[in-house]
Amino acid sequence: MKERRGPGGAARGLEDEVALFKKRTRGSARAYERARRWTVYGVHSNYRVLDPYPLYARRAKGARIWDVDGNAYLDFSMAFGALVAGHSHPTLVAAMRERVANGTIFGFEGEETEKVCGLLCKRFRVDRVKLSNTGMDATMYAMRFARAATGRKGILKFEGCYHGSHDALMAGIKPTREKAGDPRRPNVVPASTGLTPGAQEFTYVAPFNDLAATEAIAEARADEMAAIILEPIPMNMGFVLPRPGFLEGLRALCDRLGALLIFDEVKTCGKFYGGAEEAFGVRPDLKVFGKAIGGGYPISGVGGRKEVLDGVEPGVLSHAGTFNANPLVVTAAHVTLEKILTAKAMKGAARLGDALGKGYTDILADRRVPGLVQYRGISGALVFAPRPITDWRSFLDVDVGRWWGYYTAMLNRGVVPMALGPDEQWTLSVQHAKTDVETHLEAFDGMAAEIPAFRVEMPIVEAI
Ligand code: PMP
């Protein structure tokens, strides 16, 4: 990976912040040296790479996280949106102690699993659900189910959307403008080495928020189209709201083509009580759940119409996994859905999130800092770009170096302001308090005047 993530040592206008970061995080520097003896870059997800070295964490509670040097941070990454419940919610901790003492994997189905499935089906308005562990495996199953149900192969995804790192959808994620080609007919650019071209033979890429272009691409392959998959709010290029009518248009397009509409709700299922359908009023055929539903434990699932999900059959349509629906994650999801991510708690968190977004907007205006905030409810993103981000091509104009300056300066002030990278967003949890939002905004206000001086040339795009 040649791509740099972070300001490193040679950042103009940022030397003081980088020097301070290094002074505060000597333990992380040492942890990095130890870790990279065994593991390249010292991390187990490329998204955790940070230059000059990643932060290594030791513990976390509520809205706070501590690194190995003992520095405390107010956490607004919340593990890339996986922790809407907050770190180690006391209700969850009590339930998990009991669970750990009574079996952590059975190799049989547990009696509690049915309750979690009932909660998911009612909350997200689906007939059936099949559980697994990560967003990656669940989007892969959703695709397979759609192909099996339609007897077709083609999957259309959107440029800039990410659905996990399995081969078929590792395309058109962060392509350079040059490789991506015509904005209205994007090339299918592989996002990793090690993929066979065949793996993406039936993957098509369209521009998000451009219904006419998407229709043209899908209709040119009308007989092949098994499904359209999308993040209803793309959150791997910041925080991009769908234009009014876009989701409705995709619904109608899928109906015309006889293809399935798949909402990858790995992130959105934790942003609104009832997920994207509640927010936008559009019902897809399949929904993929992940991250927040487990309260910090790895559980995911595909939900949807029974005609599609009931196609799963031993020896016919495969769905399997040793750790699928293990009692640890099932108990975690049960407690999280029933007792922690309640409609009331999520409404409270959304109000705080809106206050954070508004606070950023005001500070940017007061301090005359060239930046934009895109937000709704518990999540949002600060971007340094000449115009709002509506799709991948507009994201390509983001000033990546300036963002890393902002991020480093905020870490130095004890706030993890968003998840790692300008393509991410902040997430508030039900354990965040009004004072946490105020502290976050004070830290931003304290460093905002530095932003124009951060000049670091840095690409966001893939290095292959
Ligand atoms: N879908 C979306 C929308 C995601 O944001 C992610 C991860 N950030 C995934 C799928 C993959 O999930 P996981 O990392 O749990 O495999």
Q: 56 pLDDT exceeds 50?
A: yes
> Taking the CB of residue 86, how many other CB atoms lie within 10 A of it?
25
Q: Does the CB atom of residue 268 touch ligand 1 within 6 A?
A: no
- Spatial distance between the Cα atoms of 77 and 167, rounded to a whole number of angstroms: 27
pLDDT value of position 9: 55
What does the pLDDT average to over 172-197?
Answer: 96
Q: Does the CB atom of residue 266 touch ligand 1 within 6 A?
A: yes
Specify the pTM: 0.97
> For residue 378, what are its two tokens?
């518990």
Which stretches does DSSP call E strand in 79-144?
A: 128-132
Q: Does the CB atom of residue 264 touch ligand 1 within 6 A?
A: yes
Q: Does the CB atom of residue 140 touch ligand 1 within 6 A?
A: no
Residues with Cβ within 8 Å of residue 461, at least 6 apart in sequence = 3, 174, 175, 176, 396
Query: For the chain, how many helices (H) and strands (E)?
Result: 16, 14
What are the distances in angstroms from CA 318 to CA 8, 239, 314? 45, 34, 6
> Taking the CB of residue 1, how many other CB atoms lie within 10 A of it?
11
Report CA(399)–ligand 1 centroid distance (Å).
24
Which is nearest to 373 in space by CA: 365, 362, 384, 381? 381
Residue 12's pLDDT band, with cuts at 50, 70 and 90, is low
Could you tell me how many residues make up the chain?
464
Q: 1 pLDDT exceeds 50?
A: no
- Spatial distance between the Cα atoms of 232 and 449, rounded to a whole number of angstroms: 34
57 burial type by CB count under 10 A (0-12 exposed, 13-18 middle, 19+ buried): middle
Percentage of the chain beyond pLDDT 90 is: 93
Report CA(291)–ligand 1 centroid distance (Å).
8
**Strands 203-206 vs 225-230: parallel, antiparallel or unpaired:** unpaired
What does the pLDDT average to over 133-151?
Answer: 98
Q: Does the CB atom of residue 160 touch ligand 1 within 6 A?
A: no
Instruction: Tell which atom from ligand 1 comes closest to the C-alpha of 139.
Output: 10
What are the start-end ranges of the H helices in 4-81?
15-24, 26-35, 78-81
- Spatial distance between the Cα atoms of 378 and 37, rounded to a whole number of angstroms: 38
205-237: pLDDT as tens digits: 999 999 999 999 999 999 999 999 999 999 999
Residue 197's pLDDT band, with cuts at 50, 70 and 90, is confident
Report CA(419)–ligand 1 centroid distance (Å).
13
Q: Atom 14 of ligand 1 has which residue's CA nearest to it?
A: 135
Q: 4 pLDDT exceeds 70?
A: no
Report CA(157)–ligand 1 centroid distance (Å).
14
Instruction: Tell which atom from ligand 1 comes closest to the C-alpha of 135.
Output: 12
Q: Atom 7 of ligand 1 has which residue's CA nearest to it?
A: 164
Which stretches does DSSP call E strand in 236-299?
A: 260-265, 286-289
Q: Which residue has the higher pLDDT, 458 or 171?
A: 171
Measured CA angle at 161 (ends 157, 164), to 5 deg: 95
- Spatial distance between the Cα atoms of 249 and 429, rounded to a whole number of angstroms: 32
Residue entry with tokens 């509409």: 261
Q: Does the CB atom of residue 162 touch ligand 1 within 6 A?
A: yes
The mean of the pLDDT values for the chain is 96
Which is nearest to 146 in space by CA: 298, 271, 299, 264? 264
Residue entry with tokens 């942890």: 31
Write phi, then psi, for 64 (nearest 5 degrees).
-120, 150
Q: What is the DSSP letter of 225?
A: E
Q: At what angle do helices 246-257 and 211-219 cross, to 10 degrees?
A: 10
Instruction: Tell which atom from ligand 1 comes closest to the C-alpha of 134.
Output: 15
What does the pLDDT average to over 117-140?
Answer: 98
25-36: pLDDT as tens digits: 999 999 999 999
Residues with Cβ within 8 Å of residue 115, at least 6 apart in sequence = 334
Sorted by where each starts, the structural domains of the chain and their CATH numbers stand as 7-75+342-453 (3.90.1150.10), 90-340 (3.40.640.10)
